[in-house]
Structure 1
């Protein structure tokens, strides 16, 4: 089992008791406004997300981690790697993504978890390039991506949800871990 400890966080695989806390995070319209179609997700949809993330771990050797606060054991959200399926410009490439409960915003947890995820991609999985997509207006995610060293590489149209995306990438051989 792959666990990553940072100064304040534990990134780990999903457990059964993570479902309800993640469902509460994903039920928040403010948290979900920039993710997918922008709508909150139900308990059943969240269960499907966790199942898909765990399948990706089994199939690819990487996936979306549960993000736990070391001090309290509280689930703060999710961060990790996945194989992008769209838009075409980044399809089949390894992407990074995250979502944190609103109570955990503005404390650097997203940057800390994403940085550890990039180190994991490079050092443990031998990934040489990671991409990301963020919607215009999602300045918080854009700030984290830029802080991590990902460079803007243009825009694309999200065919599934109908909105524009800004595309980012980093060559991990240049990543300062």
Structure 2
């Protein structure tokens, strides 16, 4: 597999990097938190070996195929991973999907908003994308609020076979495109 070596999104307090096989314990913890299972998915990861297989078969595979995926987001100050954030290409969606998940202990500090904003800037400036979408569980008010704060607009609901659920659907467009300046 071939992976992009950069550039990656950038922001003030956080660093983005590719997932690695050394992240198995972090992935196991993140993906077994109650809100992750409730609002995103239950990947049924029971061991670090399960998490390692997920990293190789899903996370890194996305980067190999699309050159983007969900980066591991860590504190610049300490190097501690706080979550994941990036873009996911889904067959059922017309545009790349902005996704993010943070460990519970890092929520409520503006990290999701900061990371998501960095990915939006990267998507527009580096990847030259003009439109992105995002999906959330209908009862995930915190994620919906983040999306609205960074410029996404609600656009109904979709039932996605890939996730086996109905999700709230949001769209983000570069503002100068909307004004006919592109």
Task: Tell me if TM exceeds 0.5.
Answer: yes
The RMSD of aligned alpha carbons is: 2.0
Mind listing any 5+ residue stretches in structure 1 that lack a counterpart? none
Q: Is 1:53 the equivalent of 2:59? A: yes
TM-score, normalised relative to structure 1 = 0.86
CA shift digits 1:105-157 (9 cap, x unpaired): 10110010010011111111111110111111100110011011011111122
Q: Determine the structure 2 residue equivalent to 1:159.
A: 161
Q: Determine the structure 2 residue equivalent to 1:81.
A: 87
TM-score, normalised relative to structure 2 = 0.84
Q: When the two structures are aligned, how many residues end up with a matched partner?
A: 170
Give me the whole-angstrom Cα distance separating, in 1, the residues matched to 2:130 and 2:115. 19
Q: Determine the structure 1 residue equivalent to 2:180.
A: none
Describe the SS at the equivalent of 1:169: strand
Mind listing any 5+ residue stretches in structure 2 that lack a counterpart? 178-182
Alignment of 1:26-105 (within 5 A): 26-36=31-41, 38=42, 41-42=45-46, 43-51=48-56, 52-86=58-92, 90=93, 92-105=94-107
